[in-house]
Amino acid sequence: MGGDGGVATTVAAAVRFASLADLTLVGDAPEIQAALTIDNDSIDVQHAGEVVTPADTLADVLRHKPDSSMRQALRLHAEGHVDGVVSGGDTGALMALARQQLHMIPGIERPAILKQIEGVSDNFWMLDLGANLDCSAEQLLQFAQIGALVACSLGGGARPRVALLNIGTERRKGPEILQRAAESLAGDPELEYVGFIEADRLFLNYADVVVCDGFSGNIALKSMEGAAHMAGHLLERKLSSMRGIRRLTMGLVRKTLQELRDEFNPQRYNGASFVGLNGVVVKSHGGADTIGFQSALREAVLEIQNSIPERLAVLFQGESS
């Protein structure tokens, strides 16, 4: 029920994705059924009589609205009826309910928001992107361990390179917490720690995993999104100003521009994972379109198929023993 498009987006995405997974759509059943254009044996509808709204406080979300679609979806996951949850609803509410319903993997202090991002030559993973505004050095180490495992499991190489986001690459740059975290990462024999990385080098693939606190990570992510929108705007403006160009040439330029937009369409990489929980939970961007929501569904399926929560449980069971 969440996201700017509501069921018009989520149900359309589900219909297109149903050949790849069995889906349970949780929410207002009559509204969902009205949006379902075809009968599909791979799609089940579970009614939930309440919806979490932006006006709800976290106290309201946790203590009231027991029949909200978000809570019911997470409950189905906690009870083993589904293997993962994808939601376009409020991030804070989803995280709070996920922690309440699924609980943390033993040994992991806090969950983190992790996202795969396209770089110049390859993708990289970045966390935390907003779950924890401030973090201890130990928590940053855990995020590095989580990110490395996810990257290794999802195609980031057998020994992913891990970096800490900082205001400079020099060894003594940045706050004391980052200094302590750097020492911890460098001292972990299981991590391929490559040092600090600055924000302007994120896309250059110096690292496969970039670790940061949620405050810095969220600002970096929103800056990336803003820069992408600005680049598109500048290209359009430049193209519109090319009045003297021949019609054939203009057609080729527009075709190239469209191909570029399709290749770097952020909707293709929609879906941020809540890692550290006893389950698979993927947050879809509120502004996602049908392609974007399918991307979030695809991310959840990948994590389920690669047993990410189970692998994290094994890793941190060894850490805590």
pLDDT digit string, tens, across residues 89-134 = 999 999 999 999 999 999 999 999 999 998 888 999 999 999 999 9
The CATH number that domain 117-226 falls under is: 3.40.718.10
What is the domain partition of the chain in residue ranges? 1-108+269-304+317-321, 117-226
Q: What angle do CA 126, 121, 281 make, to 5 degrees?
A: 30
Q: What angle do CA 199, 205, 210 make, to 5 degrees?
A: 55
Q: DSSP character for 285?
A: P
- What does the pLDDT read at residue 177? 95
1-108+269-304+317-321 placed in CATH 3.40.718.10: yes
Residue from 87, 59, 110 nearest 3 by CA: 87
pTM above threshold 0.85: yes
Residues 6+ apart with CB under 8 A from 203: 117, 118, 119, 120
Distance CA 125, CA 211 (A): 9
pLDDT, tens digit, 9 for 90 and up, residues 6-46:
999 999 999 999 999 999 999 999 999 999 987 888 999 99
Supply the DSSP string of 247-271, one letter for each residue.
Answer: HHHHHHHHHHHHHHHHHT-GGGG--
Q: What angle do CA 111, 112, 114 make, to 5 degrees?
A: 140
- Residue at 316: amino acid letter: F
Distance CA 284, CA 286 (A): 6
